[in-house]
């Protein structure tokens, strides 16, 4: 999932300290890095007999510009996230995948300088036996979520007793609580740091 890297339309927390143009350039670089990791995972998976499709789910850009952007990135398939909270946009990806008969879905963002293809392959491998896989983030959120049908997903993005507090340090805990309420025991991957603030840039350089 990615936001169009236009100045003023992405990485707003980062832009508050380094400026909108530099933040957009960082977003564009992170997107290329994430796509490269996903495409490498697809290639490695194919070599092992796995069919992994890379789908770029975008926001902040219209349909026509989105198609041009997808061609420029050499992305085979681009879809739009739609409007609403992050939870709603995540749920749309699950709904689309299940409608298409996808058996293992892994969703990851594009602000992960540490992301590598082995992370994604590990997530797919975990879904061979688990219903859900989550990559915890250092800020209390998560950097990856993976599901396989017929795992119920609505509450994972809407919350159990209370809504998921998107953008806070309680996202992971709330999501795990919602999973527990559904009787789901997720596999947890290694903790990763995403890139939201100027101090996070040091680890990327």
Kindly compute the dihedral angle of the four CA atoms of residues 69, 75, 80, 84, in this order, to the nearest 10 degrees: -90
CATH of the domain at 174: 3.90.550.10
CB atoms within 10 A of CB 10: 24
The pLDDT of residue 205 is 58
pLDDT of residue 22 exceeding 80, the answer is yes
pLDDT for 73-87, tens place per residue?
A: 989 899 999 999 999
Domain containing residue 110:
2-203
Which pair of structure tokens corresponds to residue 83?
């409007």
pLDDT tens, residue by residue, 135-189: 999 999 999 999 998 888 889 999 988 999 998 999 999 999 999 999 999 999 9
Residue 79: predicted pLDDT? 94
How many structural domains compose the chain? 1
Write down the pTM of the prediction: 0.91
Answer for the pair 189, 145: CB distance below 8 angstroms, yes or no: no
């Amino acid at each position: 999932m990615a936001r169009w890297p236009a100045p003023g339309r992405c990485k707003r927390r980062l832009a508050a300290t380094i400026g909108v143009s530099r933040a957009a350039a960082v977003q564009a670089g992170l997107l290329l890095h994430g796509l490269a990791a996903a495409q490498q995972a697809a290639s490695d998976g194919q070599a092992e007999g796995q069919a992994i499709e890379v789908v770029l789910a975008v926001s902040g850009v219209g349909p026509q510009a989105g198609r041009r952007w997808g061609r420029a990135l050499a992305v085979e398939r681009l879809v739009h996230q739609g409007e609403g909270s992050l939870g709603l946009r995540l749920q749309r990806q699950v709904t689309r995948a299940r409608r298409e008969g996808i058996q293992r879905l892994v969703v990851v963002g594009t602000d992960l300088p540490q992301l590598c293809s082995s992370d994604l392959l590990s997530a797919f491998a975990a879904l061979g036996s688990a219903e859900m896989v989550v990559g915890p983030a250092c800020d209390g959120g998560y950097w990856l979520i993976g599901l396989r049908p017929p795992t119920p997903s609505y509450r994972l993005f809407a919350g159990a007793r209370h809504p998921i507090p998107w953008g806070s340090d309680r996202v992971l805990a709330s999501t795990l609580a919602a999973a527990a309420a559904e009787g789901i025991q997720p596999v947890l991957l290694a903790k990763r740091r995403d890139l939201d603030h100027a101090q996070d840039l040091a680890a990327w350089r």
